[in-house]
Amino acid sequence: NAGVTQTPKFQVLKTGQSMTLQCAQDMNHNSMYWYRQDPGMGLRLIYYSASEGTTDKGEVPNGYNVSRLNKREFSLRLESAAPSQTSVYFCASSGLGGTAQNYEQYFGPGTRLTVT
């Protein structure tokens, strides 16, 4: 049981390049999330998907797009990377359509992205 997996683990981009961060979960969870973690800022929600076929903006969605490909997979795309997007990105999932209040969020190991 792998839980939440993310690829790649590390990535370096030049300003203006694009890339997609991949996330998959094998726990049959309905809800999935993308966060970014910056020093001294805690984690901030970028986008989430409450269930397959739906996506919603979080606190810091500008410069990102997401796709809920199926129940297992939720990808995050940077169309034109900027140095301000240098961060550690975490994907998370939670169970059976419940809200964050009732269902623990399970986190992946993270992707460390540097934009030069």
79 binds other proteins (CB under 8 A): no
111 binds other proteins (CB under 8 A): no
Which residue, 17 or 112, is less far from other proteins as judged by CB?
112
- Choose among 88, 60, 91, 57: nearest CA to 75: 91
Which residue, 59 or 79, is less far from other proteins as judged by CB?
59
46, burial (CB in 10 Å: exposed 0-12, middle 13-18, buried 19+): buried
4 binds other proteins (CB under 8 A): yes
- Least distance in Å: CB of 3 to other proteins? 9
- Least distance in Å: CB of 103 to other proteins? 10
d(CA 55, CA 18): 21
Helix or strand or coil: residue 85? helix
42 binds other proteins (CB under 8 A): yes
108 binds other proteins (CB under 8 A): yes
Contact with other proteins (CB under 8 A) among 12, 69, 82, 100: 100
Contact with other proteins (CB under 8 A) among 43, 55, 71, 73: 43
The token duo for 31 is 């809800």
- Choose among 36, 25, 4, 31: nearest CA to 99: 31
